[in-house]
Structure 1
Amino acid sequence: MDEKQLIKISVRNLVEFILREGDIDNRIAGGTDKDAMQLGSKIHRKIQRRMGADYHAEVALKLLIPYDVFDIQVEGRADGIITGDTVDTIDEIKGVLKELALIEKPVPVHLAQAKCYAYIYAKQNQKAEMKVQMTYCQMETEEIRQFVSQFTVGELEEWFLDVIHRYEKWARFQVEWKEKRNASIRQVEFPFSYREGQRELVTSVYKTMLRRKKLFIQAPTGVGKTMAAVFPAVKAVGEGLGEKIFYLTAKTITRTVAEQAFETLKEQNLRLKVITLTAKEKICFCEETDCSPESCPYAKGHYDRVNDAVFDMITSTDDMSRVSLEKQAEKYQVCPFEMALDVSLWVDAVICDYNYVFDPNAHLRRFFSEGGRGDYLFLIDEAHNLVERGREMYSASLYKEDIMEVRRLVKNEDAKLSKRLEECNKLLLALKRECETYQVQESVGHLILKLMNAMGEMERFLEEHQGEEVRQKVLDLYFEVRMFVTIHDCLDENYVIYTEMERNGHFKLKLFCVNPAVNLQQFLDQGNSTVFFSATLLPINYYRLLLSTDPDDYAIYAQSTFSQEQRLLLLGVDVSTKYTLRSPQMYEMYAQYILDAVRAKKGNYMAFFPSYLFMEEVCSRVLAQIQGNREMECIIQSQYMNEEARELFLETFEEERDNSLVGFCVMGGIFAEGIDLTEDRLIGAFIVGTGLPQVCNEREILKNYFDGKGMRGFDYAYLYPGMNKVLQSAGRVIRTEEDRGVILLLDERFRGRQYRSVFPREWETCDICNLGGVQKKLADFWNQEK
């Protein structure tokens, strides 16, 4: 007899899942999920401390409900238990920003949580009756409003067993599916013959998961890193080393590569449910994404139907593709985006953007709620992107002008809100008077209290006013302020607070997350193991410092599978993109380099530039020289390309042509990463400049911060991010073992030791050239091919 399986679920997740009903309505400020905010935790502790000797805070409770082949364990933490002379009381505390007078009765799902705790406690302590106390605390005034109910253990048991009975079919699905899935995983083999170094990669990933560690992989293009990460992760799931794979990416194109890897494994009769989460705006059925029952028929009554839609889907198919999800959402008349998030709970692998895991505003609360933990395996693709994305996600800004605009709009109709916003404005005005360009601040604690006061008034305003333009402005500001207050709660030595006068005259206050590692770690700790991988994770210690707090993380450097003969790497030493050297003559020299290189061999090329302005200067000179002849065609990246325009740009490289093609692009832009133009679709890349970010206040703050820590501030703020763009752009050229191509690094600064120190190993054979000799070197390389 197999060992019985244990299905664990938290009290909160159980009641929120089984008892939800009604509409999706994002107009209600209450729908902003305030008690997921960290603001509430301080209030909890304050109330618990002043409750006296009979009050027991944060009591862990769990109950096992046995079934035939599995047990369900319901677990959680009661905010408080008050031991009385005759009847004990469960206390459930909720911090709110609205006025207590507006709360007429407990929120049903809050009461349900407390009733679960009451039943578990009564059952374990042989109690005949229990009291349930809902304590709502106004976070600004710290006033309290309580609602007390009393139940017999019989009433609680009947209610609780009904909730568990409704959950039983979901638990049974999990147990039966896991058995089928794991049996199919045992049969799966690596689907290709191993490339050089790929077997070692697969082994390293599996061992990392076995040891519940983190691994950083620097893997050059062509190693096959996606399959080398996905295959061992699937095997690890089959061995019980993880229950769910999260494949995280920064770009849509890399999501497709991940989908293909899972599909390839499924060709071996693998039973695996894989979902890709699509942004709400893209998958929404309505023309305008307005999530309210008046505007959207799918939002109306969504929660009454969605559980049936999800259960039907997960039990009838393994196909969780976007088309399949949309059909199911249409069939049940539910929101496809929200339904997809619910389906993701029951699948084996989730492919999604970083923000679904890490962003404090957008992360999947279903998986990553406070204090939660799951057997997750994180595969983080293009991990070099996570540094800047992490900084964005854990930083927050406030503009004085936004507060003043809303104040003007509400001045005549809501004196209370206007007054609160004016209080915030006065404090920002005082900071503005001290700031000429930018200024680092020690603390803004005095402002936080005023912002919380304003939030409370904004909540009230939003509940009283429906469907106005003013309301939307208030809602936008509400979210900005809420984010600011939430991030303020995370402040530590990894943050810099600063004010800045922007060029347009706007005054900004920013909580800037300089090193996101601690914040990222808090989510990574909820999983078993993490693999960071990228073709450009150099220098690896820079990424280890900014993406993880564990000193004992593993790191490996995968060998390139390509031979040096496939590629010519030239360094042009007579040109520079330094501001002091930019001139018409310099632009002319860059144009000539491109023309000479293209004339050495007909084919498709990409030129990557440090800015749109620099690109246009050089491009106009190339066009002037080829005017009237058909030797070469130029296409240029524009600043605001939609998805269709991007696809058209890339399709130009797939067309058959008699002449050469040069795509003019911006380094670090949409065409510098993740695109796959194999064989003769791209035979050369011109890297114009070292990719260094422009000098600005924020970069200088980064530099000063790392200098202050005894690290090389310039390298952290400028050199490493810049060289990453260079390496990404250069990586477009050699994509397969059949490819041959040239890479021209066009800036004399690449000769410097600090730049060369970030070159990958496979760039050891780098040749120097100048404009006079470049054509011969290129001709010699292409002649070897013949």
Structure 2
Amino acid sequence: MSNTIQIAVRTLVEHVYSSGSIDSRFRSQSTMLDGTRIHQKIQHTYQETDQKEVYLRAEVPVKDLIFTIDGRCDGLLFRDGEVIIDEIKSTSQLLANLGEEGLPVHWAQAKMYAYIYAKDQHLQEIYVQLTYVQVESDEKRYLKKCFSFAELEGFVNETTASYYPYAKLLFEHRKERNESSKQLVFPFESYRAGQRKLAAGVYKTISEEKSLFVKAPTGIGKTISTLFPAVKALGEGHLNRIFYLTAKTITRTTAEEAFGRMRSCGLCVKSVTITAKDKVCFKDETKCQKDYCEFADGYYDRINGAILDIVANESAMNREVIENYARKHTVCPFEFSIDLAYVADAIVCDYNYIFDPRVSLKRLFEEQKKSTLLLVDEAHNLVDRGREMFSASLNKELFLQLKKEFKDVNKVIYDRAATINAWFISLKKNSGKLNEFTLEQLDEELVLLLTQFKEEAETLLLNETSPTLLELYFKVNAFLKIVELLDEHYVIYGEKMKNDVILKLFCIDPSKLLQKMGKAFRSKVFFSATLSPLPYYQDILGGQVDDYLLSIASPFNEEQTDIFIKPLSTRYRDRERTKEKLVSVIHSLVHNRPGNYLIFFPSYQYLLAVYDQFTHDFPDMHTLLQGAGMSEEEREAFLEEFKPNQTGTLIGFAVLGGVFSEGVDLKGDRLNGVVVVGVGLPQLCYERNLIKDHFNNKEKNGYDYAYVFPGMNKVLQAGGRLIRSEEDHGTIVLVDDRFLQRHYQDLLPQEWRSFTVI
């Protein structure tokens, strides 16, 4: 590894010159889009001889390192013998608030470009111009200064010297990381059946810059089998960063444990876990305002010290570690974790930090993405999460509330809210007696009204706070962002509820957008025990024709599980009639085979009906009930009851697709049996039927896409709680006559197909 540090101009100057506080009392979310629009507008006014988006690069030696600094300057202008570097900055603040001089970090960025250009062209002096544009009013302010080459050289030397301690720390760490990863051996005595095949598949995918879809059974050790080859690829120079993406806290812990195990075998790797803002916030309310929160006040003045401290002393930067250092340095723990994500080797976080256009990590430059791997755990969850991320809705009630609140407060906002409320009333009238209805296209008048509302709200929110206005502003903003994405993958529909009416932009098929959000990354690996059927998931998660597909057989013997099918109808219309038979099946099972059981139901209502009947008929049985909206402590207490080597019987009643049917690891004798009631089909509803119709029109099996595949996925997940190691034995009972139909049987794993009908 050479002694070269590659760094973008913007990253360098933001590290050295950013200062001040986090203040999202109100931060315009449209700034990214506005910024692009304004840049293009200004560049459009350049003269023919001028240049825009000029790529500049320089090598600057600093002690024992060489900094390769690069970036694109907005404009290179030639005026009456002057050479001018133009840096365009859009802002939602009033220009008067920027002071006479503008911001030091903006001058620093422009001066860095000026130095590189002057050095390349042997210029003795060069002009630097900051062009500030106010987003709403389009007002402009130009600040221009002339610098000698000697001044710029001094500035660059000073800047790189400030960055040096941090760069040196990262450089030394990466050297050690690469060496240790080359020497790392698989951190278990031997590979389980299928693990070597999975690890080899992941490594091949990374080295060939492809994507991979993997169905690998529960209990195989998917986390270590995907992370180990990824870490080896770091040492080989294929990668610089790994994202381990999950949908649930419990799978995040598994990834942290896998890194811990590799560290205990000598690996030197820095990992950071990002936890949701509302979970890590130190204050009673999550208000990022400098006058309310001391962790936001002056954040940028202290953050470099905090990063240097934690990176120098810690390898596993999990929630607890980040919170400790955040308190020590008085910085916001959430923003701290986001800043650490840009320097860590591995980031464990939720899907949305990569795939959600509203919250994705914006400072991951294209160059960095090319050396980044995405590992998508429990990837079957990304289908509905993707739909959620790319959809948006608005309802009439919020505008009515705002109209009332602003009646004598602000006429402009009152009028805007009243007009939009009236639009919703006419939508309701025009839909006639239908409770749910689709729209051929979005009314352009509504888009105009919402855009005007957003602009007025922005101006008002810069100076005062109203929780209702702020909430509605963000909702409208999110809605307008999705408006820009509307295409044939969307359905626009309305729904009436009492006095309210909801308008939803529903992303039926998230494949195109998931593909777009993940496009620039080197490789993507989507894996799950229930990624079945593979072609369906490859299609709906945005896979390409030349992606790799891998299906790994279960490492466990069929003899470890007794599979029974009870052909009893659990369809909605038959539930009352078959309830007593179901209770009797459960009792007979636990009477003949005592132990710890989980019984999964397709709905909470159904669960309660059977639970009440069961506890009435067998009051002496030890039962547990999954509560609605359980806290993390209550969930842990529920699972804690499943102790090994119990003499009696314990029956946990839970919901299929709920918190206990995925990611729960009750090893050994803690779980002896699972009963799955029904084939897991989502409830018939308008949205699911829209999905069905959409895919039918695409000449695919719409009913499978909307109901059967998601339903059977829940069944397989629930059954997968049982056998977690070579030593586990147990019983699975599938209760529904549809399990005997060929179509459903084809979706069962191979090891479940030797069943007995009871």
Calculate the TM-score normalised by the size of structure 2: 0.94
Q: Counterpart of 1:219? A: 216
Contact kept? 1:223, 1:558, Cα under 8 Å: no
Check 1:46–1:707 CA distance in 2 against 1; reply closer, same or farther (3 A cut): farther
Please give the alpha-carbon distance, in whole angstroms, between the structure 2 residues aligned to 1:122 and 1:453: 45
Q: Counterpart of 2:8? A: 10
Per-residue deviation, 1:444: 4.2
**1:595 aligned onto 2:594:** no
Secondary structure in 1 aligned to 2:641?
Answer: helix
Please give the alpha-carbon distance, in whole angstroms, between the structure 2 residues aligned to 1:408 and 1:40: 34
Check 1:125–1:516 CA distance in 2 against 1; reply closer, same or farther (3 A cut): farther
Please give the alpha-carbon distance, in whole angstroms, between the structure 2 residues aligned to 1:98 and 1:420: 23
Q: Counterpart of 2:187? A: 191
Output aligned runs, 1:605-644, within 5 Å. 605-627=597-619, 630=620, 632-644=621-633
Secondary structure in 2 aligned to 1:569?
Answer: strand
Q: Counterpart of 1:255? A: 252
Letter in 2 for 1:576: S
**1:494 aligned onto 2:489:** yes
Q: Deviations over 1:264-303 (max 9, x none)?
A: 1112222112222222222223333332222222222222
Please give the alpha-carbon distance, in whole angstroms, between the structure 2 residues aligned to 1:454 and 1:232: 51
Contact kept? 2:126, 2:146, Cα under 8 Å: yes
Q: Counterpart of 1:477? A: 472
Letter in 2 for 1:9: I
Check 1:78–1:753 CA distance in 2 against 1; reply closer, same or farther (3 A cut): farther
The equivalent position to 2:236 in structure 1, one of 236, 239, 253, is 239
Output aligned runs, 1:108-123, within 5 Å. 108-123=104-119
Check 1:52–1:428 CA distance in 2 against 1; reply closer, same or farther (3 A cut): farther
Output aligned runs, 1:336-375, within 5 Å. 336-367=333-364, 373-375=369-371
Per-residue deviation, 1:138: 3.5
Q: Counterpart of 1:136? A: 133
Output aligned runs, 1:261-340, within 5 Å. 261-340=258-337
Output aligned runs, 1:495-510, within 5 Å. 495-496=490-491, 498-510=492-504
Please give the alpha-carbon distance, in whole angstroms, between the structure 1 residues aligned to 2:633 and 2:487: 43
Secondary structure in 1 aligned to 2:185?
Answer: coil
Q: Counterpart of 1:458? A: 457
Q: Counterpart of 1:21? A: 19
Q: Deviations over 1:543-581 (max 9, x none)?
A: 1112224221111111101111111112211x1222232
Q: Deviations over 1:45-80 (max 9, x none)?
A: 344345453443333333332345543233323333
**1:168 aligned onto 2:164:** yes
Please give the alpha-carbon distance, in whole angstroms, between the structure 2 residues aligned to 1:343 and 1:109: 20
Contact kept? 2:62, 2:160, Cα under 8 Å: no
Output aligned runs, 1:381-420, within 5 Å. 381-420=377-416
Please give the alpha-carbon distance, in whole angstroms, between the structure 2 residues aligned to 1:277 and 1:441: 40
Secondary structure in 2 aligned to 1:315?
Answer: helix
Letter in 1 for 2:417: L
Check 1:71–1:394 CA distance in 2 against 1; reply closer, same or farther (3 A cut): farther
Calculate the TM-score normalised by the size of structure 1: 0.90
Please give the alpha-carbon distance, in whole angstroms, between the structure 1 residues aligned to 2:89 and 2:504: 29
Letter in 1 for 2:295: Y
**1:686 aligned onto 2:693:** no
The equivalent position to 1:230 in structure 2, one of 223, 227, 235, is 227
Q: Counterpart of 1:536? A: 530
Please give the alpha-carbon distance, in whole angstroms, between the structure 1 residues aligned to 2:301 and 2:193: 54
Secondary structure in 2 aligned to 1:408?
Answer: helix
Please give the alpha-carbon distance, in whole angstroms, between the structure 2 residues aligned to 1:597 and 1:751: 20
Please give the alpha-carbon distance, in whole angstroms, between the structure 2 residues aligned to 1:759 and 1:110: 59
Please give the alpha-carbon distance, in whole angstroms, between the structure 1 residues aligned to 2:452 and 2:728: 62
Please give the alpha-carbon distance, in whole angstroms, between the structure 2 residues aligned to 1:476 and 1:551: 42
Give me the identity figure in percent.
41
Secondary structure in 2 aligned to 1:306?
Answer: helix
Check 1:206–1:473 CA distance in 2 against 1; reply closer, same or farther (3 A cut): same
Which deviates more from structure 2 when the two are superposed, residues 720-729 or residues 341-350? 341-350
Letter in 2 for 1:622: F
Please give the alpha-carbon distance, in whole angstroms, between the structure 1 residues aligned to 2:450 and 2:97: 21
**1:668 aligned onto 2:668:** no
Please give the alpha-carbon distance, in whole angstroms, between the structure 2 residues aligned to 1:373 and 1:428: 43
Per-residue deviation, 1:534: 0.6
Letter in 1 for 2:327: E
The Cα RMSD (Å) is 2.4
Contact kept? 1:372, 1:526, Cα under 8 Å: no
Check 1:708–1:48 CA distance in 2 against 1; reply closer, same or farther (3 A cut): farther
Per-residue deviation, 1:230: 1.1
Check 1:707–1:190 CA distance in 2 against 1; reply closer, same or farther (3 A cut): same
Q: Deviations over 1:593-649 (max 9, x none)?
A: 11111111111111111111111111111112113xx3x211111111111111111
Per-residue deviation, 1:111: 4.6
Per-residue deviation, 1:43: 4.5
Please give the alpha-carbon distance, in whole angstroms, between the structure 2 residues aligned to 1:130 and 1:379: 46
Check 1:50–1:300 CA distance in 2 against 1; reply closer, same or farther (3 A cut): closer
Q: Counterpart of 1:86? A: 81
Please give the alpha-carbon distance, in whole angstroms, between the structure 1 residues aligned to 2:75 and 2:418: 38
Please give the alpha-carbon distance, in whole angstroms, between the structure 2 residues aligned to 1:253 and 1:567: 25
Which deviates more from structure 2 when the two are superposed, residues 355-364 or residues 116-125? 116-125
Please give the alpha-carbon distance, in whole angstroms, between the structure 1 residues aligned to 2:688 and 2:539: 18
Letter in 2 for 1:478: Y
Secondary structure in 1 aligned to 2:2?
Answer: coil
Contact kept? 2:224, 2:258, Cα under 8 Å: yes
Which deviates more from structure 2 when the two are superposed, residues 742-751 or residues 513-522? 513-522
Contact kept? 1:83, 1:89, Cα under 8 Å: yes
Q: Counterpart of 2:756? A: 767
Check 1:230–1:477 CA distance in 2 against 1; reply closer, same or farther (3 A cut): same
Q: Deviations over 1:162-211 (max 9, x none)?
A: 33332222222222111111111222111221111211111111111111
Letter in 2 for 1:691: G
Per-residue deviation, 1:761: 2.4
Per-residue deviation, 1:85: 2.8
Which deviates more from structure 2 when the two are superposed, residues 745-754 or residues 520-529? 520-529
Letter in 1 for 2:23: D
Secondary structure in 2 aligned to 1:365?
Answer: coil
Please give the alpha-carbon distance, in whole angstroms, between the structure 1 residues aligned to 2:143 and 2:309: 39
Secondary structure in 2 aligned to 1:582?
Answer: helix
Q: Deviations over 1:192-237 (max 9, x none)?
A: 2111121111111111111111111101112111111111111111
Q: Counterpart of 2:573? A: 580
Please give the alpha-carbon distance, in whole angstroms, between the structure 1 residues aligned to 2:460 and 2:644: 57
Letter in 2 for 1:20: S
Q: Counterpart of 2:561? A: 567
Please give the alpha-carbon distance, in whole angstroms, between the structure 2 residues aligned to 1:489 and 1:92: 28
Please give the alpha-carbon distance, in whole angstroms, between the structure 1 residues aligned to 2:107 and 2:695: 49
Per-residue deviation, 1:385: 0.7
Secondary structure in 2 aligned to 1:64?
Answer: strand
Please give the alpha-carbon distance, in whole angstroms, between the structure 1 residues aligned to 2:403 and 2:264: 60
Contact kept? 2:493, 2:506, Cα under 8 Å: no
Which deviates more from structure 2 when the two are superposed, residues 594-603 or residues 71-80? 71-80
Per-residue deviation, 1:251: 0.8
Per-residue deviation, 1:664: 0.5
Per-residue deviation, 1:582: 2.8
**1:433 aligned onto 2:432:** no
Q: Deviations over 1:668-713 (max 9, x none)?
A: 0000100011222111111111111112221122112111211111
Check 1:481–1:394 CA distance in 2 against 1; reply closer, same or farther (3 A cut): same
Q: Deviations over 1:233-272 (max 9, x none)?
A: 1111111111111111111111111111111111222211
Q: Deviations over 1:526-555 (max 9, x none)?
A: 321111111100011111112224221111
Secondary structure in 2 aligned to 1:272?
Answer: coil
